[in-house]
Amino acid sequence: MKKLNKIIMLLVAMMLVLTACTTDSNPQDNGENITDETYKNIMFVVTGTLGGRTNNDDVLAAITDYVATVDGNVDTFECNMDASLYESTLMQVAETGEYDLIVTGFGTMIEPVSNTAERYPDQKFLIFDTQMDFSNGANSNVVSVQVLQNEGGFLAGALAAQLTTSDAEYANGDKVVGFVGAMESTSILDFLMGYIEGVNYVDPSIEVLYSFVGNHTDSALAKELGLSQYQQGADVVFAVGQNGLGVAEAAADAGRYLVGVDFDYSERLETTNKDAASKVLTSVIKDYRGMVYPMLEAINEGTIEWGTHSFISHAEEGVYLVNNDYTQAIVPSEVWSEYESVVEELNSGNIKVSTAFGASTDEIDKVKSEAKPQ
Amino acid sequence: MLDYIFSLEFIFAVIRMGTPILFVGMAAVIGAKADILCIAYEGMMLFAALGGVIGSAYSQNLAVGAIVGLLAGLVIAAIFAYFVLYLDTKPLLTGLALNTLGTGGTVYVVYLLTGMKLDTSSLASLRFPTIHIPVIKDIPVIGSIISGHNLLSYVAFIMVIVVWYLVFKTRLGLRIRAVGEDPAAAASVGINVRRTKFIALLISGLIASMGGLFMSMGYMPYFTNNMTAGRGFIGIAAQNLGRGNPIITMIYTLIFGASMAIGNTAQSFRLPSQFASMMPYLITLIGLVVIGARNKKNERRLHESISRKSKV
pLDDT digits (tens, 9 = 90+) for A316-326: 888 999 999 99
Domains of chain B: 2-307 (1.10.3470)
Distances (CA, A) of A263 to A55, A143, A197, B223: 9, 26, 23, 18
Mean pLDDT of B244-259: 92
Across the interface, whether the CB atoms of A218 and B227 are under 8 A apart is answered: yes
Q: In this structure, are residues A171 and A235 in contact, taking their beta carbons and an 8 Å threshold?
A: yes
Residue type, A17: V
Across the interface, whether the CB atoms of A245 and B222 are under 8 A apart is answered: yes
Q: Is B144 an 8 Å CB contact of chain A?
A: no
E strands within B123-264?
A: 130-131, 149-150
**Cα angle vertex A52, ends B98, A61, to 5°?**
140
Q: In this structure, are residues B232 and B45 in contact, taking their beta carbons and an 8 Å threshold?
A: yes
E strands within A31-141?
A: 41-46, 73-78, 101-105, 124-128
With contacts defined as CB-CB under 8 Å, which chain B residues touch A212?
Answer: 267, 273
Specify the pLDDT at position B272. 78
Greatest C-alpha distance within chain B: 78
Q: Is B264 an 8 Å CB contact of chain A?
A: yes
Q: Is B222 an 8 Å CB contact of chain A?
A: yes
Mean pLDDT of B151-171: 96
Count other C-beta atoms under 10 Å from residue B63's C-beta. 11
Burial of A328 (0-12, 13-18, 19+ CB in 10 A): exposed
Q: In this structure, are residues A295 and A301 in contact, taking their beta carbons and an 8 Å threshold?
A: no
Query: How many residues appear in chain B?
Result: 312
Residue of chain A with shortest Cα separation from B57: A272
Residue of chain B with shortest Cα separation from A225: B264
Rg (CA), chain B: 21
Size of interface A-B (CB pairs under 8 A): 103
Q: Name which of A108, A106, A99, A94 is nearest A38 in CA terms.
A: A99
With contacts defined as CB-CB under 8 Å, which chain B residues touch A213?
Answer: 273, 277
Give the whole-angstrom CA distance, residue A250 versus residue B93.
Answer: 37
- What is the SS3 assignment for B78? helix
Beta bridge partners of A308: A143
Rounded to the nearest integer, the mean pLDDT of chain B is: 90
Specify the pLDDT at position A66. 94
Q: In this structure, are residues B182 and B173 in contact, taking their beta carbons and an 8 Å threshold?
A: no
Closest CB to A220 among B119, B122, B215: B215
**What secondary structure letter does DSSP report for B209?**
H
* Residue A12: alpha-carbon gap to chain centroid: 47
User: Has residue B200 got a pLDDT over 90?
Assistant: yes
Across the interface, whether the CB atoms of B122 and A272 are under 8 A apart is answered: yes
How many helices (H) and strands (E) in chain A? Answer: 15, 12
From first CA to last CA, the distance across chain A in angstroms is: 89
Q: Is A269 an 8 Å CB contact of chain B?
A: yes
Q: A301-311 in b/e burial notation, b at 16+ Cβ within 10 A?
A: eeebeebebbb
**Considering only B19-28, B173-182, B264-273, which range has the smallest mean pLDDT?**
B264-273
Mutate to test the interface with B, among A272, A361, A365, A370 (most CBs of B within 10 A): A272
* Residue A223: alpha-carbon gap to chain centroid: 22
Rounded (to 5) percent helix, strand, coil in chain B: 80, 0, 20
**Considering only B64-73, B121-130, B257-266, which range has the smallest mean pLDDT?**
B257-266
With contacts defined as CB-CB under 8 Å, which chain B residues touch A225?
Answer: 264, 267
**What secondary structure letter does DSSP report for B85?**
I
With contacts defined as CB-CB under 8 Å, which chain A residues touch B124?
Answer: 271-272
What global pTM score does this model have? 0.83
Across the interface, whether the CB atoms of B268 and A212 are under 8 A apart is answered: no
- What is the share, in percent, of chain B residues with pLDDT greater than 90? 64
Give, for all 374 residues of chain A, the pLDDT tens digit: 566 666 666 666 666 555 544 444 444 444 444 445 689 999 999 998 887 677 889 999 999 999 999 999 999 999 988 889 999 999 999 999 999 999 999 888 999 999 999 999 999 999 998 888 898 888 999 999 999 999 999 999 999 999 999 888 888 888 999 999 999 888 899 999 999 999 999 999 999 999 999 888 899 999 999 999 999 899 999 999 988 999 999 999 999 999 999 889 999 899 888 889 999 999 999 999 889 999 999 999 999 999 999 999 898 888 999 999 999 999 999 999 999 999 999 999 889 999 988 888 999 999 999 888 87
**What secondary structure letter does DSSP report for A107?**
G
Mutate to test the interface with A, among B99, B214, B264, B278 (most CBs of A within 10 A): B264
Count other C-beta atoms under 10 Å from residue B286's C-beta. 11
| Host H or E run for residue A303 | none
Going by C-beta distance under 8 Å and a sequence separation of 6 or more, which residues neighbour residue B112?
Answer: none
With contacts defined as CB-CB under 8 Å, which chain B residues touch A245?
Answer: 119, 121, 220, 222, 224
Across the interface, whether the CB atoms of B122 and A211 are under 8 A apart is answered: no
Closest CB to A52 among B116, B124, B215: B116
Chain B, 72-111: which have a CB under 8 Å from a chain A CB?
A: 107, 111
Across the interface, whether the CB atoms of A214 and B274 are under 8 A apart is answered: yes
Beta bridge partners of A103: A44, A126
Q: Is B195 an 8 Å CB contact of chain A?
A: no
CATH 3.40.50.2300 domain position(s) in chain A: 39-148+289-312, 149-286+316-373
Specify the pLDDT at position A21. 46
Q: Which residue has the higher pLDDT, A272 or B272?
A: A272
**Cα angle vertex B129, ends B124, B130, to 5°?**
135
Q: In what order do the strands lie in the sheet with A207-212?
A: A207-212, A176-181, A236-240, A257-261, A280-286, A319-321
Specify the pLDDT at position A14. 63
Mean pLDDT of B131-153: 87
E strands within chain B?
A: 130-131, 149-150
Beta strands A236-240 and A257-261 are: parallel
Specify the pLDDT at position B83. 96
With contacts defined as CB-CB under 8 Å, which chain A residues touch B118?
Answer: 52, 54, 242
Q: In this structure, are residues B74 and B15 in contact, taking their beta carbons and an 8 Å threshold?
A: no
Mean pLDDT of B44-63: 96
- What is the SS3 assignment for A178? strand
Q: In this structure, are residues B137 and B147 in contact, taking their beta carbons and an 8 Å threshold?
A: yes
User: Has residue B4 got a pLDDT over 80?
Assistant: no
Q: Is A219 an 8 Å CB contact of chain B?
A: yes
**What secondary structure letter does DSSP report for A175?**
-
Reported CATH class of domain A39-148+289-312:
alpha beta
Q: In what order do the strands lie in the sheet with A41-46?
A: A73-78, A41-46, A101-105, A124-128, A142-147, A308-312
From first CA to last CA, the distance across chain B in angstroms is: 59
User: Has residue B136 got a pLDDT over 90?
Assistant: no
Pick the CATH number of A149-286+316-373 from 1.10.10.60, 3.40.50.300, 3.30.470.30, 3.40.50.2300: 3.40.50.2300
Give the whole-angstrom CA distance, residue A370 versus residue B291.
Answer: 45
- What is the SS3 assignment for A279? coil
Q: A342-372 in b/e burial notation, b at 16+ Cβ within 10 A?
A: bbeebeeeeeebbbbbebeeeebeebbebbe
